[in-house]
Amino acid sequence: MRETRRVEVFGSGRGLHTDQRDRRHWRSNFYLTTGFSPSWSLCPENTGSIAQGHPLVADLENVLVRVLAVASMFAFVSIGLVGSPASAVEFEALVADQGDQAQLRGINRSGSEYACVQGWGVFDGPTDRESIRAMIDWGVTTVRVPLNESCWLGLSGVPPEYGGSDYREAIIDYVDLLLDSGMTVVLDLHWSSTTDAAMGQEQMANTAHSTAFWTDVAGTFADRQRMLFDVFNEPHELTWDCWLHGCEEHAGMQDLVDAVRGAGARQPIIVSGLEWGNDLRGWLRHRPEDPLDSIVAGVHIYDFNRCATPGCWDAELAPVAAKVPMVITEFGASDCTGEWAESLMDWADARGVSYLAWAWNPWSCAGGPALIESFDGAPTTYGAAVRRHLRAAAGHGGWFVDDDGSVHEEDIDRIASAGLTRGCNPPDNDRYCPDSTLTRGQGAAFLARVFQFDRPPVDAFVDDEDSLFEPEIDALAAAGLTRGCNPPDNDRYCPDEPVTRAQWASFLVRALGLNHAPEGDLFVDDDGSVHQEDIERIAAAGLTRGCNPPDNDRYCPDEPVTRAQAASFFARLIDLRASRR
């Protein structure tokens, strides 16, 4: 991603974008080169953090939630890349079952290109097995790991505790853990420097260090399977001849390919085009020579790039993809919404083009297209679209094993995709328990994941001190969504008691601000209920259809809400909010 211009705010160390129109690069070197240490907050182990300063009713897709990684580990043992039938390249290092070719689909795990030179780590966030399980739960099969040339080589200016052998060992350990988890790994030369510590991206690889970097990296991983080497991230402001052969201080792509092969590595090599990786118009004419004929075309596509539409992809990228394998090694949307990303993934799937989304980091959109809100996999709006696509492509069925055949199964899967439920059997969380009664504490958690409140939580009740859901209960009380369970004192919430359908109606009415007068008496069994008006309000809003299909002239106000029913309430809420936009 291309770098915007930056200024230093003296005294704070924070870099500011000075040209908001030039949103061609949000890379983490924005923070790094200005001296700003990003400190994105992770959600607490028990969720309940409520974002401040937002309207009462937030977009569902912007909900900040934590979703535990629930999928079982699996080995993706048959991976290839697709070109035209006559020239499809089968990669020995990637294919376990010869002849079975498939796309690489996954994510970029940013951090190892910048944390080391700033002096606060090798990675930005966790790199343990649990964090990889969150990726697998998304359907990720490939992870691209950006590298810093000077940290790998231990050059002057790199903090010694995060450079040289310490950096290399950390990268090796993470790569091996990814491989052991069944992932394919792409290593990428992301930041480089002609002098000392690499503090950002150069126009092109350099003659001073880059060939030595690839000789060492390729030699280190020469015996690993399911790997690719992306020899330079985003070439820019070069001629195609310089791109291929090098010029002045720049090493050419041919030099980098020769360095990899000279180290004895046989893995496929990704070679990205010009214009920050977005231009492949001269790629076929300048393709580097490779004795193994395993060169892959790399391309970066963001919605702000020149080539960011299906028409351009058809005109400029499809001809290359018809000749050689292609990987979209980075893509993302500047507004962090999912519609554009889905159109790109659909285009790529139709042509056998692989793709890796930017980035598996909990940034705000101001910091770049962020897939996640937290490292356990809770998605942003953009991330939810990518996750849906990856899970479908990976052949993941429904989210849970115990809702098959339920009339609510589709709605359960929808709220799981939206990050509104974690399952009911931690740590596996492969069950939803659809027939279980929803407790008042669980109901508070559901509501807190959907709505964000502009008031700090208050400790309103005496009986929720030991409840897992105390933060959510307190948040609901502060927002006026609950008044307690023991009038007139109302100093108790009764978190373990079931929520009745009537109570649930009142929760939703208060949360949504449905203050209009009820439109008629739709049900025959709620007369005299203190919740009658609220029941009629949610019925008028389309959030309930009754409890006795097909007649549906009854609401069953005193019956407890099941977890399956709660899923349908929220799925209808999603539709209601979409219709109001």
pLDDT tens digits for range 45-62:
232 332 333 332 233 223
User: Which tops the pLDDT comparison, 570 or 51?
Assistant: 570
Band of residue 396 on the pLDDT scale cut at 50, 70, 90: low
Is the model more confident about 552 or about 104?
104
Query: Where is the domain boundary, 333, 363, 393?
Result: 393
Average confidence (pLDDT) over 270-276: 98
Q: At what angle do helices 501-512 and 440-450 cross, to 10 degrees?
A: 20
Over 90: is that where the pLDDT of 323 sits? yes
- Provide the angle, in degrees to the nearest 10, between the axes of the packed helices 440-450 and 563-580: 20
Answer with the one of 365, 393, 421 that is the final residue of a domain. 393
pLDDT exceeds cutoff 50 at 98: no
In whole angstroms, give the CA distance from residue 134 to residue 155: 34
- 324 and 465 in one domain? no
Q: What is the average pLDDT across 104-122?
A: 98
Same domain, 266 and 294: yes
Cβ-contact 300, 235 below 8 angstroms: no
471 in the same domain as 333: no
- The answer to whether the beta carbons of residues 54 and 568 sit under 8 Å apart is no
Q: What does the buried/exposed string (b/e) look like for 234-263 if buried means 16 or more CB atoms within 10 Å of the residue's CB?
A: bbbebebebbbbbeeebbbbbbbbbbbbeb
CA–CA gap between residue 163 and residue 514 (Å, rounded): 58
Query: Is the Cβ–Cβ distance between 233 and 299 less than 8 Å?
Result: no
- Residue 61 within any structural domain of the chain: no
Portion of the chain with pLDDT greater than 90, in percent: 52
Position of tokens 């009537």?
502
- What mean pLDDT comes out for the span 317-339? 94
Q: How many domains are contained in the chain?
A: 2
b/e 479-497 (16+ beta carbons within 10 angstroms → b): bebbebbeeeeeeebbbee
Structure tokens at 536: 């009629």
378 with 505, same domain: the answer is: no
Whether pLDDT at 257 is above 50: yes
Q: With 50 as the cut, is the pLDDT of residue 90 above it? A: no
Distance CA 408, CA 31 (A): 45
Range of the domain at 99: 75-393
Specify the DSSP element, H or E, that contains 229: strand 227-230
SS (H, E, C) 522-566: CCCCCCCCCCHHHHHHHHHCCCCCCCCCCCCCCCCCCCECEHHHH
Using the structure block, give the residue that is written with the tokens 């359908």. 501
Q: What is the CA radius of gyration of the chain?
A: 26
Q: Are residues 324 and 472 in the same domain?
A: no
Least confident of 81-95, 217-231, 272-286: 81-95
153-192: per-residue pLDDT in tens? 999 999 999 999 999 999 999 999 999 999 999 999 999 9
Count how many Cα atoms sit within 13 Å of the Cα of residue 223 in the half-sphere of its side chain: 3
Confidence band, pLDDT 50/70/90 cuts, at residue 483:
confident
Q: What is the pLDDT of residue 416?
A: 79
Residue with the larger pLDDT of the pair 33 and 580: 580
Percent of the chain with pLDDT over 70: 79
Same domain, 161 and 288: yes
Task: Give the mean model confidence (pLDDT) for residues 86-99.
Answer: 36
- Return d(Cα 233, Cα 465) in angstroms, integer: 51
Same domain, 358 and 456: no
Q: Are residues 270 and 191 part of one domain?
A: yes
Residue 109 belongs to some domain of the structure: yes
Q: What φ, ψ does residue 90 adopt, rounded to 5°?
A: -95, 125
In a domain, 99, yes or no: yes
Given its phi and psi angles, is residue 99 left (phi above 0), alpha (psi -120 to 50 degrees) or beta? left
- Under 8 Å between Cβ of 174 and 134: no
DSSP count for the chain of H helices, then E strands: 19, 12
**How many residues in the chain?**
581
Residue 41 has pLDDT above 80, yes or no: no
Residue 417 pLDDT > 80, yes or no?
A: no
> How far is 142 from 151, CA to CA, in rounded Å?
23
Per-residue confidence (pLDDT) for residue 427, from 0 to 100: 63
End-to-end CA distance of the chain: 31
pLDDT at 124 over 80: yes
Write the CB contacts of 89 (distance below 8 Å, at least 6 apart in sequence). 81, 83, 268, 293, 294, 296, 324, 325
The span from the CA of 52 to the CA of 431, in Å, is 32
pLDDT level of residue 570 (50, 70, 90 thresholds)? confident
Structure tokens at 427: 């740590």
Q: CA 383, 431, 498 angle in degrees (round to 5)? A: 105
**pTM of the shown model:** 0.62
Report DSSP state, residue 7: E
Residues 108 and 166 in one domain: yes
Residues 125 and 197 occupy one common structural domain:
yes
Q: Which of 183-192, 223-232, 276-285, 438-447 has the lowest mean pLDDT?
A: 438-447
**Phi, psi angles (nearest 5°) of residue 541:** -80, -5
Task: Name the range with the highest mean pLDDT among 194-203, 381-390, 517-526.
Answer: 194-203
Residue 273 falls within a domain, yes or no? yes
Whether 144 is in a domain gets the answer yes
Domain end marker among 393, 428, 444: 393
Predicted local distance difference test score (pLDDT) of residue 524:
92
Q: List, in sequence order, every beta strand (DSSP E) within 289-443.
A: 295-302, 326-332, 354-357
Verify that 299 and 180 share a domain, yes or no.
yes
pLDDT at 212 over 60: yes
Residue range 80-106: mean pLDDT, rounded: 47
183 and 331 belong to one structural domain: yes
Residue type, 448: A
Q: Judging by DSSP bridges, how do beta strands 246-247 and 250-251 pair with one another? A: antiparallel
